[in-house]
C-alpha cells in the first residue's frame, strides 16, 4: 500500500502536502520507525495523524516510546481499536 496524498489533501487541505514535501526525510524516517514497532499498515496511521509524522525523528521516537509505555504490550491492538489514543502522541 502507499500513501494517498490526494486523500490527505482532501481531508487536511493542500498545506499538509506542502509540509510533507518540505519535511519528506522526517516523514519517511518516522513511517519507517512506526513499522519497526510492528504496525502492519502504517499508512492508515499516517492518514489519520499526518502532522505527527512531521516531527523530527527524535521527537517522534520519544512520543511513541511514551505512548507505548503508557498503553503496555498490547499497544498495537489498543491503538487499532481506539484511534483517539493517537492524540496523546500529539501533546
Residue 51: CB partners within 8 Å, gap ≥ 6? 16, 19, 90
Q: Where along the chain do its domains lie?
A: 5-88
pLDDT, tens digit, for every residue of 9-46?
999 999 999 999 999 999 999 999 999 999 888 888 89
pLDDT digit string (tens) for 51-90? 999 999 999 999 999 999 999 999 999 998 898 888 877 6
pTM score: 0.87
C-alpha–C-alpha distance, residues 23 and 75, integer Å: 27
pLDDT at 32: 94
Amino acid at each position: 500500500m502507499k500513501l494517498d496524498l490526494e486523500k490527505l489533501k482532501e481531508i487536511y487541505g493542500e498545506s499538509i502536502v506542502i509540509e510533507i514535501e518540505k519535511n519528506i526525510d522526517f516523514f519517511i524516517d518516522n513511517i519507517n520507525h512506526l513499522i519497526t514497532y510492528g504496525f502492519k499498515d502504517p499508512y492508515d496511521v499516517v492518514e489519520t495523524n499526518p502532522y505527527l509524522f512531521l516531527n523530527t525523528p527524535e521527537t517522534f521516537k520519544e512520543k511513541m516510546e511514551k505512548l507505548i509505555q503508557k498503553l503496555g504490550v498490547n499497544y498495537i491492538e489498543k491503538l487499532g481499536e481506539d484511534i483517539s489514543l493517537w492524540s496523546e502522541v500529539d501533546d
